[in-house]
Structure 1
Amino acid sequence: MANRRTFRWPSLLTEGGRGIAFGGDYNPDQWSEDIWDEDIRLMKQAGVNTVALAIFSWDRIQPEEHRWEFGWLDRIIDKLGKAGIAVDLASATATAPLWLYETHSEVLPHDKFGHPINAGSRQSWSPTSPVFKEYALTLCRKLAERYGDNPTVTAWHMGNEYGWNNRYDYCDNALHAFRAWCERKYGTIGALNQAWGTTFWGQEMNGFDEVLIPRFMGADSMVNPGQKLDFERFGNDMLLDFYKAERDAIAEICPDKPFTTNFMVSTDQCCMDYADWAGEVDFVSNDHYFHEGESHIDELFCSDALMDALALGKPWYVMEHSTSAVQWKDLNTRKRKGETVRDSIAHVAMGADAINFFQWRASAFGAESFHSAMVPHAGEDTRLYRQVCELGAALKTLGDAGVQGTELVPSGTAILFSAESEWATRSETLPSKKLNHWHDVRDWYRAFLDAGTRADIVPLKYDWSGYRTVVLPTVLILSGEDVNRLERFVRGGGTVVVGYATGLIDENFHTWLGGYPGAGDGVLRGMLGIRGEEFNILGAEAAGEPCEIHLSNGMTTRLWQNDINVDDDGVDVLATYAGEEADEWDLDGTAAITRNAYGEGSAYFVGCDLDVADLAMFITTGLNPAERGDRNASQESGPHYDPITTLHTERAGAEVAFDFYLPRGKHEVKIDGVEGEPVYRFRCDEGTEPGSYAIHRNGVLVIKR
């Protein structure tokens, strides 16, 4: 974070360059030019003010190795500029032309079986290929030379969803790059051997030329977990290095326009360590696609909470989401009852200053032809396009009111997220293969909402010392320094909640010894005042055995229980395992949830997995309002509403603040006592009393103060 790039936001072609950005991926090269003017007419009608252009257009820009075709791109940029629509111009490297693969097949990545990943999809290239990098950077420089001074181009969009198809590359170029990466990290082969624990299974290496990447080793083979974790880190770093090479090639020619690339953060995907990536962009961008079912809006809030942290509280950019259904899930549900507008405003409520979709016009062919778009196959006279127009007007209203540039006010609680712990939970060498750190973060986030408050999500490696409470759900990996930060935090008066599978291994995937959780050579155990001896793992796979255990407070655990001893007389046991099933596993009466006073603060241990409802019960009954960062603990003054069914966020600037209210469920919510100007209402009626409102399902109320 010390070397983080300065925040720069792309300008619009409006007076003063301000406003909430609205638009989407535009692929005019999929259509004949006689449609372009119609596109721009519809864009202006909808209030579109920006588009991302040329993301998959390398083959149209460079149809042959020594032939460049910029005319079509010149013409569409000129048309967009005259219409007042800014361009976020892509480096166009997400897909390479087929002639490049035919001429240089060595640029293809390989899978773990050693097979080349053939061309024909996105990112069918190896980020460690020097040949591919040479061609890609030549393209970047050509684009910068031609459009760097073009006033319509106000930002650079590098690549697209890096890692979508080449996150794991097992080619020889990757092998050589991994060996060099390991040598830079460890310095000596002895240090690497120690980090990977290579004395197990006789894997000691004599030099870095013996380092391997975890290619296929046979069915059911277990990879050295330290090696696998480093290969995850390497894959993240090699793609980040490629992004920086593209960015810097353009910046050498065109340094005065901001750079970004679209992350992929939703709770079903978060493949990179975006805490590192966020420091290398000028503004943070994300592609978010909604999760079907009852968790739809909660999942959106959760993903956005991490995005706000990655942006360090600065406004961030929704680069892609969908107007309705996608076509790549097992279940492709559409949006309904105002969700197209509601989801977009929800992103704004969580700190976004740009709302963009994939894509502008639904494709007539190709792999994503049934992916919803701003202009659907049925054209202009459709409910979906009318909702797009309604959204454009709403965003203009919010922009004119001054929302742009305000920042999301943080909560008092931080749920800590670690990309490395998420990678580690995928290891085949853990007590259970059912762990999922990111999903546990999501469950805790939802539990705080169900408890009537809102938590933030902050990367473990960022600064979270200003929060009142931090929660660590399945943060498997804790280094000694991580634990020392936690210890200082609690000793100084903070509250920490440690989850059931937290602090088991260090940054090299070595198990901390002396009892669980052993992180920091026992420092974490000392804070908690407990010591675990074994894990008890449940599952329906064991026919005839109990597959759940009850707690003395009515909660239920179904996967993982810590068999712990309470080592400190001052520890409060808040719940024990109880009942016939607990007795079957020798756990009856064993502490399940504990609290320990430590220094000026408190350390809780939630020693088993719990569902969202039980986590919410713990937050409500186990934590006091100050410890859960509850901004709604007292509603004696100000607006009155149910904080469990209504999400409230606040965006504030130096002289103005905006309150956003959104129902979480299907039922109408009511608010009264609201002071301020209602600048935007969607599916929301004013009540008979001043300051009272009824917000219907999927509605939004925005108040300016």
Structure 2
Amino acid sequence: MTTHRAFRWPSLLTESGRGIAFGGDYNPDQWPEETLDEDIRLMGEAGVNVVSLAIFSWDKIEPVEGAFTFEWLDHVIDRLGRAGIAVDLASATAAAPLWLYESHPEVLPVDRYGHTVNAGSRQSWQPTSPVFKEYALRLCRRLAEHYKDNPYVTAWHMGNEYGWNNRYDYSDNALAAFRTWCEAKYGTIDALNEAWGTAFWSQHVNSFDEVLLPRHMGGDAMVNPSQQLDYERFGNDMLLDFYKAERDAIEQICPDKPFTTNFMVSTDQCVMNYAKWADEVDFVSNDHYFHEGESHLDELACSDALMDSLALGKPWYVMEHSTSAVQWKPLNTRKRAGELMRDSLAHVAMGADAICFFQWRQSKSGAEAFHSAMLPHAGADSKVFRGVCELGKALKTLSDAGLQGTELERAGTAILFSAESEWATRSETLPSMKLNHWHDVRDWYRGFLDAGLRADVVPLAYDWTGYKTIVLPTVLSLSDEDVLRIADFAKAGGTVIVGYAAGLIDEHFHIGLGGYPGAGNGLLRDMLGIRSEEFNILGEEAEGEPSEISLSNGLTTRLWQNDVTSVAADTTVLASYAGESAADWELERTPAITSRPYGNGTAIYVGCDLNRHDIAQLLKALGSRWQELSAQPTESGQTPTYPTTDPRILHTIRRSADGSTRFDFYLNRSNQPVAVNGIEGEPIIAYRCEADTTGYTLNRNAILIAKASC
């Protein structure tokens, strides 16, 4: 367990310094001077109270080497501040000026094929380059010296989306740093050889000077998965070290303002091990872009559930999301009517106290010109800007009601997420290359919602002992310590649900022997009371073969089935493989889902993949006990009540620290009207809702927020 930095939240320029932050990235250096007047006027009309500034402005601040020009930035900050708009000031290092690359091309990253990554985009620099770090830290110190006493700068925004373009660097600097990292991790070369299993394919190394990066090896050659997993860890750590160097350079000069950097957490991307990064920021912030299609709201809530855990339950910051379509996906769908408001308030429902967008004014040129913004190409007379103004009023209502600073109430179930298991599932050496740990977390999260229940998403490395149930969906990699914590949780009375591909390897990508799952030297397998010998992998690639197998309880598996050959005497088989396809694969009557008492708790094994609908059916079949597991007792000992268990409604509660006030959020997950009755407290926002004598009808993209005194 590690220790977070102390929580510090940036102040607004309100009389109290409090309120929900609302704004976005602001890039006035892209526009002529006269645009500033219009921007500030329209920001006031929209209710904007904070902007992130100078994220990509290094070449404007230092147009030639050593010549710093702050006058333009001083003018912008002063105008914003006098208008009551606080500034989250960037370190400006995310995109270096071209003169630096011309003078020092050696700072450019190298891809796995040995090609230099050219300048012209973002983050075209090596995290391990001492030359680049020297220039970057010099800029950080100059910014800190210049703005340390500026009252309008209320927070520091380090870098931007670290790892977006330089997550993987194969340069000579990276090689030297990787060797140093490996020596620090393992101590002796014998320990590294053991961890990497170098006896295979003649990969033994005699010293750390022989350690290599997993560069391209030709053809369809497979990388040593143990080496690759360490390289993933190394890349995360090198960028985290760079962030900390920037933060520390500014903090030595300007220690009184909080620091953050924007994570990239959505269930389509989770680039870093943010459980480690969250330790190093004063407040957690995230860039979230919605997933197109029917999973839109659920995906947002799942990502936010992880963000709330990373923030240790404290409020967190949406640093970027979009008013409508982006321009960087294969399919760039726009938002429907109401989704701008609904998405923003959904983030608030999941614990966010800041709602910001990329960006304020939509660019007229450059790579992101077609990325939607708060003030679109169409101008202020547009649906998008009117929606932005409507949102500003709603956030002001919530601020006035005292929502800011309240915290999201936990669920009773923690779905465990591990960045290292996510990295491991990308290996091309697994029984199936279709595994995806993060997507499996999302499917379980949605399964709980479909069953009318709630779950949190919690990093494996964090403390989840306060929950009643934990779920391990494709948590492929489990160390002996991890397994011991899981077993102790069950012994103490908790319920553990272990997925089909959990615990197959340890932290070194070594297989546990004696049968699957072998993690913890067989402790995980013993806890579950089952033993599997083989994996049955299905896929459309096998023409003429069954592509799915039924279970005796009516569920269906489509990718992976464990061939469980023995169960303990006290293990109950809840479902087995059944039907013609099961018989064809010689799995008929083989246990698929089992349950076993363990200590004072229960260990449930789901030995095959299930989609979110089947997961929901499984949870419902487990009985009414799941209603109890879905509610987490508060510090006062009271169990929160949820007036509706309608799976079409996402219901969350935020509560004040003293427990005297609660805010209930109700969001319609469906595209049809849904009635909600039994609302506690006084509705303060009823967006796209219709009131009647018994309650409210929530239309598509609706959100209802009620405040109650406890």
> Which TM-score tier does this pair reach, normalised by the shorter chain?
over 0.9
What is the CA-CA distance between 1:69 and the residue it aligns to? 1.2
Q: Say if 2:435 is the partner of 1:435.
A: yes
Residue in 1 that maps onto 2:31: 31
Corresponding letter in the other structure for 1:452: G
Q: Say if 2:699 is the partner of 1:666.
A: no
Residue in 1 that maps onto 2:112: 112
* Cα distance in 2 between the residues matched to 1:223 and 1:637: 50
Corresponding letter in the other structure for 2:121: S
| Residue 701 of structure 2, aligned match among 687, 698, 702 | 698
Percent identity, please: 70
Q: Say if 2:165 is the partner of 1:174.
A: no
> CA offsets per residue over residues 379-411 of structure 1, 9 Å max, x none?
010111000000000001001101100000000
What is the CA-CA distance between 1:584 and the residue it aligns to? 1.2
- Partner of 2:34, secondary structure, is helix
Corresponding letter in the other structure for 1:584: D
Matches within 5 A, 1:166-315: 166-315=166-315
The question of whether the paired residues in 2 share the 8 Å contact of 1:639 and 1:675 is answered with no
Matches within 5 A, 1:410-449: 410-449=410-449
> 1:213 and 1:278, CA in 2 relative to 1: closer, same or farther beyond 3 A?
same
The question of whether the paired residues in 2 share the 8 Å contact of 1:639 and 1:672 is answered with no
Matches within 5 A, 1:498-513: 498-513=498-513
Residue in 1 that maps onto 2:589: 589
Corresponding letter in the other structure for 1:694: T
- Partner of 1:16, secondary structure, is coil
What is the CA-CA distance between 1:622 and the residue it aligns to? 2.2
Residue in 1 that maps onto 2:68: 68
> CA offsets per residue over residues 327-382 of structure 1, 9 Å max, x none?
00111010112000000000000000000000000000000000000000010101
> 1:603 and 1:628, CA in 2 relative to 1: closer, same or farther beyond 3 A?
farther
> CA offsets per residue over residues 143-189 of structure 1, 9 Å max, x none?
00001110000000000000000000000000000000000000010
Residue in 1 that maps onto 2:471: 471
Corresponding letter in the other structure for 2:697: A
Matches within 5 A, 1:44-193: 44-193=44-193
What is the CA-CA distance between 1:68 and the residue it aligns to? 1.2
* Cα distance in 1 between the residues matched to 2:106 and 2:45: 47
Corresponding letter in the other structure for 2:691: E
Corresponding letter in the other structure for 1:60: K
Corresponding letter in the other structure for 1:693: Y
> 1:638 and 1:486, CA in 2 relative to 1: closer, same or farther beyond 3 A?
closer
Corresponding letter in the other structure for 1:665: S
> CA offsets per residue over residues 534-582 of structure 1, 9 Å max, x none?
0001111111111111111111111100001233111110111011111
Residue in 2 that maps onto 1:572: 572
- Partner of 1:201, secondary structure, is helix
* Cα distance in 2 between the residues matched to 1:429 and 1:640: 48
The question of whether the paired residues in 1 share the 8 Å contact of 2:556 and 2:614 is answered with yes
* Cα distance in 2 between the residues matched to 1:672 and 1:157: 43
> 1:205 and 1:340, CA in 2 relative to 1: closer, same or farther beyond 3 A?
same
The question of whether the paired residues in 2 share the 8 Å contact of 1:450 and 1:644 is answered with yes
- Partner of 1:102, secondary structure, is helix
The question of whether the paired residues in 2 share the 8 Å contact of 1:469 and 1:496 is answered with yes
* Cα distance in 1 between the residues matched to 2:533 and 2:640: 49
What is the CA-CA distance between 1:470 and the residue it aligns to? 0.2
The question of whether the paired residues in 2 share the 8 Å contact of 1:638 and 1:673 is answered with no
> 1:623 and 1:414, CA in 2 relative to 1: closer, same or farther beyond 3 A?
farther
Residue in 1 that maps onto 2:685: 680
* Cα distance in 2 between the residues matched to 1:541 and 1:639: 45
Corresponding letter in the other structure for 2:346: A
> 1:584 and 1:676, CA in 2 relative to 1: closer, same or farther beyond 3 A?
same
> 1:577 and 1:583, CA in 2 relative to 1: closer, same or farther beyond 3 A?
same
What is the CA-CA distance between 1:673 and the residue it aligns to? 2.3
* Cα distance in 2 between the residues matched to 1:248 and 1:195: 33
* Cα distance in 2 between the residues matched to 1:639 and 1:193: 54
- Partner of 2:665, secondary structure, is strand
Corresponding letter in the other structure for 1:386: R
* Cα distance in 2 between the residues matched to 1:550 and 1:671: 36
Q: Say if 2:657 is the partner of 1:656.
A: no
> CA offsets per residue over residues 664-685 of structure 1, 9 Å max, x none?
0111111222231111111112
- Partner of 1:421, secondary structure, is helix
* Cα distance in 1 between the residues matched to 2:420 and 2:624: 31
TM norm structure 1: 0.98
What is the CA-CA distance between 1:2 and the residue it aligns to? 3.5
What is the CA-CA distance between 1:628 and the residue it aligns to? 6.7
Corresponding letter in the other structure for 1:663: N
The question of whether the paired residues in 1 share the 8 Å contact of 2:453 and 2:645 is answered with no
Matches within 5 A, 1:609-648: 609-622=609-622, 624-626=624-626, 629-631=629-631, 640-648=643-651
- Partner of 1:404, secondary structure, is coil
Residue in 1 that maps onto 2:636: none
> 1:79 and 1:637, CA in 2 relative to 1: closer, same or farther beyond 3 A?
closer
The question of whether the paired residues in 2 share the 8 Å contact of 1:639 and 1:671 is answered with no
What is the CA-CA distance between 1:66 and the residue it aligns to? 2.3
Residue in 1 that maps onto 2:456: 456
- Partner of 2:177, secondary structure, is helix
- Partner of 1:513, secondary structure, is coil
* Cα distance in 1 between the residues matched to 2:359 and 2:124: 22
* Cα distance in 2 between the residues matched to 1:367 and 1:355: 24
- Partner of 2:297, secondary structure, is helix
* Cα distance in 2 between the residues matched to 1:550 and 1:678: 46
Corresponding letter in the other structure for 1:667: Q
The question of whether the paired residues in 2 share the 8 Å contact of 1:262 and 1:319 is answered with yes
* Cα distance in 2 between the residues matched to 1:436 and 1:234: 21
What is the CA-CA distance between 1:627 and the residue it aligns to? 7.4
Corresponding letter in the other structure for 2:299: E
> CA offsets per residue over residues 476-514 of structure 1, 9 Å max, x none?
000000010011110111000000000000000000101
> 1:122 and 1:584, CA in 2 relative to 1: closer, same or farther beyond 3 A?
same
* Cα distance in 2 between the residues matched to 1:685 and 1:247: 49
What is the CA-CA distance between 1:639 and the residue it aligns to? 6.8
What is the CA-CA distance between 1:624 and the residue it aligns to? 4.2
* Cα distance in 1 between the residues matched to 2:90 and 2:642: 45
Q: CA RMSD in A?
A: 1.4
Corresponding letter in the other structure for 1:191: A
Corresponding letter in the other structure for 2:655: A
Q: Say if 2:332 is the partner of 1:329.
A: no
Residue in 2 that maps onto 1:406: 406
- Partner of 2:670, secondary structure, is coil
* Cα distance in 2 between the residues matched to 1:203 and 1:517: 27
Structure 1's consecutive aligned runs of 4 or more residues displaced over 3 angstroms after TM superposition are 636-642
* Cα distance in 2 between the residues matched to 1:479 and 1:638: 37
* Cα distance in 2 between the residues matched to 1:198 and 1:61: 49
> 1:126 and 1:133, CA in 2 relative to 1: closer, same or farther beyond 3 A?
same
* Cα distance in 2 between the residues matched to 1:435 and 1:421: 10
- Partner of 1:33, secondary structure, is coil
* Cα distance in 2 between the residues matched to 1:632 and 1:173: 49
The question of whether the paired residues in 2 share the 8 Å contact of 1:552 and 1:576 is answered with yes
- Partner of 2:16, secondary structure, is helix
Give unpaired runs (5+ residues) of structure 1: none
* Cα distance in 1 between the residues matched to 2:678 and 2:119: 60
